Structure 1
Amino acid sequence: MPEPRVNNAIRAKEVRVVAPDGSQVGVKKLEEALWLADQLGLDLVEVAPEARPPVCRMMDYGKYKYEQSVKQRESRKKQTRTVIKEVRLRPRIGDHDFDIVRRRAEQFLSEGDKVKVTVRFRGRENERPELGHRLVERLMEDLEELAIVEQSARKDGRTMTMVMAPTRKALDIAAAAKEEFDERRAAARDEARGIVEVEEIPEVVDEVTGPADDAEAAVEAELAPVLEMVDVEAAPADDAELPRDSKATVEIESAEASDEAKENAEEGEGD
């Protein structure tokens, strides 16, 4: 649906104006109609462009578009998606295989889907269509509580087809199964979130609030050999060289001691 013309996009020179409450204002010139809408703080929307003169209504166009989009979303939610599933049979099918096909058709109907039953004929089987009719009638009898015949069996070439639609009971079963599935999925999601929270919190607490004394003791134990090596290397050797100032002091003291010894020796010789 094309967008209606709004305000200055309207091309007609005169328009029939409708008030917001639906009452008729009358035929007005476009400029006057725009002025009226502007005075009310509304838009002038062309709702019937084919009329003579065109019909325009004063409304809040933004609010109108929003309400229309909400209605469209709600209508799409209520629409049911039609799905047709197919099961295939052979005229001379065994009982075990027939039960498998019946259970499959029952599952499709319980999920709210339509079922197309196809019977394929081979060779001389094509000359006995009653075998196909008997087979689809048997299947319909087994599923009479869940299915109704939407298209009766008819033969076209080497195939016979019939379409079954789910009954109200089948649709109720499908709705209940979907609701149960949604509840289980939500419960599993909540349970998974709870497990993650319970498992993660203690690990973080243990790492952050662990005893500090144990950590310090472990660090000291690791650093002890290193500290011992540093102490050994830092201890001065006995024959280590003294600083230059210390050497000068020692030499001066040695010279003074030798001079004093000489004087004492000379005094001894004089006596």
Structure 2
Amino acid sequence: MPVPRRFDRRPPERDTTRINERIRVPEVRLIDDEGNQIGVLKTPDALVFAQERDLDLVEVAPEAHPPVCRVLDYSKYKYEQAQKVKQARKHQQQITVREIKFRPKIAEHDYDTKKHHVERFLKHKDKVKVTIMFRGREVTHPERGTMILDRLAEELSELGVVEQRPMQEGRNMTMMMAPSKAVLTGRLGEVDGDQPSEAGESETAPAGASGDGAATAAAEPTPPAPEPPAAAAEAS
């Protein structure tokens, strides 16, 4: 968490770039505002050259002999340099290494819990250092540690790849895992949408047709029943 400025007692960073009158060398190699080589000039003459164009004389290569200076707008130059640094930091990938420790006689429940932690770290694109800690005479059975590490690597093969095979270091055995390509590219867990099969469509079509026929039959009006002959004679 950044320290608020009012509580930060450190002095602000000083701009060490020498410009204009701060350039103390007797002569400089001058480059104008269009990038053209002017040549070696006396420093006062180079400063006049920059002032005539309402620009600054900026020392860009102080280690050269003579130092190289450019004629430019220093405020704009400083802003552009800050933007370049910002973009470089944005594209720079920060690699974090996590560590999870196992015991060679770890219980199944504890193994599942620690495996879940490794899985979470790999999904966050962190590297994981898995360590098997041996105590006492357990170190005489390194195959138990190898078995745990191989099992872990196999069960998490979709999330991580083994960057360093199990290696014995004193009483510890370590293995390094890195996120898999699927995790780094964000393609993990992509599943295509389900599409109905042709057989399913052919089976549902007749059912839909019979349903439509039933609906049509139900919609047709029922003809009225004819009156009995006797009732018709009385009516006449």
TM over 0.5: yes
> What are the residue-to-residue correspondences of 1:215-230 with 2, within 5 Å?
none
How far apart are residue 2 of structure 1 and its match?
6.6
Unpaired stretches in structure 1, ≥5 consecutive residues: 177-271
Match of 2:135 among 115, 122, 141: 122
- Give structure 1 regions of 4+ aligned residues with deviation exceeding 6 angstroms: none
- 1:68 paired to 2:103: no
Instruction: For residue 75 of structure 1, give the secondary structure of its aligned residue in structure 2.
Output: helix
Contact 1:111–1:173 (8 Å) recurs in 2: no
Match of 1:85 among 93, 98, 102: 98
Higher Rg of the two aligned structures: 1
Q: Which amino acid counterpart does residue 72 of structure 1 have in structure 2?
A: V
Q: Which amino acid counterpart does residue 158 of structure 2 have in structure 1?
A: E
Aligned to 1:222: none
Instruction: For residue 169 of structure 1, give the secondary structure of its aligned residue in structure 2.
Output: helix
- 1:21 paired to 2:21: no
Residues 47, 31 of structure 1: alpha-carbon distance in 2 compared, 3 angstrom cutoff: same
Match of 2:165 among 122, 135, 152: 152
Of stretches 44-53 and 91-100 in structure 1, the one that deviates more from structure 2 is 91-100
Aligned to 1:112: 125
Aligned to 1:171: 184
How far apart are residue 140 of structure 1 and its match?
0.7
Q: Which amino acid counterpart does residue 103 of structure 2 have in structure 1?
A: R
Q: Distance in 1 between matches of 2:132 and 2:170?
A: 11
Q: Describe the superposition over 1:64-122 as per-residue Cα deviations: whole angstroms up to 9, x where unpaired.
A: 10111112122222223322222222222233332222222111101111111111112
Q: Describe the superposition over 1:36-87 as per-residue Cα deviations: whole angstroms up to 9, x where unpaired.
A: 1011111111122232222111111110101111121222222233222222
Q: Distance in 2 between matches of 1:3 and 1:144?
A: 51
Q: Distance in 2 between matches of 1:159 and 1:80?
A: 30
How far apart are residue 173 of structure 1 and its match?
4.3
Q: Distance in 2 between matches of 1:20 and 1:113?
A: 46
Q: Describe the superposition over 1:216-242 as per-residue Cα deviations: whole angstroms up to 9, x where unpaired.
A: xxxxxxxxxxxxxxxxxxxxxxxxxxx
> What are the residue-to-residue correspondences of 1:201-212 with 2, within 5 Å?
none
How far apart are residue 175 of structure 1 and its match?
10
Match of 2:115 among 99, 102, 120: 102
- 1:8 paired to 2:21: yes
Q: Could you tell me the TM-score, scaled by structure 2's length?
A: 0.68
Residues 123, 27 of structure 1: alpha-carbon distance in 2 compared, 3 angstrom cutoff: closer
Match of 2:67 among 45, 54, 57: 54
- More helix as a share of residues: 1
Unpaired stretches in structure 2, ≥5 consecutive residues: 1-13, 190-236
Q: Describe the superposition over 1:5-33 as per-residue Cα deviations: whole angstroms up to 9, x where unpaired.
A: 11111112221111122211112121211
Instruction: For residue 53 of structure 1, give the secondary structure of its aligned residue in structure 2.
Output: coil
Contact 2:122–2:159 (8 Å) recurs in 1: yes
Contact 2:182–2:188 (8 Å) recurs in 1: no
Contact 1:111–1:174 (8 Å) recurs in 2: no
Aligned to 2:203: none
Instruction: For residue 122 of structure 2, give the secondary structure of its aligned residue in structure 1.
Output: helix
How far apart are residue 169 of structure 1 and its match?
1.6
